[in-house]
Amino acid sequence: MTSTGRGKRGIVRRLARGVLLLAGLLVAIPLVLVPVYAVVNPVSTLMLARYATFQPVTRIWRDIDSVSDRLKTAVILSEDGQFCSHDGVDWGALRSEIANWRAGQGARGASTVTMQVAKNLFLWNDRSVVRKAIEVPLAIYIDFVLSKERIFEIYLNIAEWGPGGTFGIEAGAQRAFGTSAENFSWERASLLAVTLPNPHLRNPASPAAGLRRVAGIVQARAQQFSSHAACVFDRPARL
pLDDT of 54 > 70? The answer is yes
DSSP per-residue codes, 87-130? SSS-HHHHHHHHHHHHTTPPP-----HHHHHHHHHHS-SS--HH
pLDDT tens figures, 131-185: 888 889 999 999 999 999 999 999 999 999 999 999 999 999 999 999 999 889 9
Residue closest to 202 by CA, chosen among 190, 211, 193? 211
Mean pLDDT score, 95-116: 74
Is residue 161 classed as helix, strand or coil in its secondary structure? Answer: strand
Domain residue spans in the chain? 1-36, 37-232
CA 57 to chain centre: 17
pLDDT tens figures, 59-97: 999 999 999 999 999 999 999 999 999 999 988 877 877
CATH level 3 topology of 37-232: Penicillin binding protein transpeptidase fold (1.10.3810)
Look up the pTM and report it. 0.87
* 55 against 6, higher pLDDT: 55
pLDDT tens figures, 8-48: 566 666 665 655 555 556 667 888 899 999 999 999 999 99
| Inter-residue long-range contacts of 199-205, CB under 8 Å, 24+ positions, other chains counted | 199/160, 199/161, 199/162, 199/163, 199/166, 199/172, 200/162, 200/163, 203/176, 204/176, 204/177, 205/175, 205/176, 205/177
Name the strand (E) or helix (H) holding 162.
strand 160-162
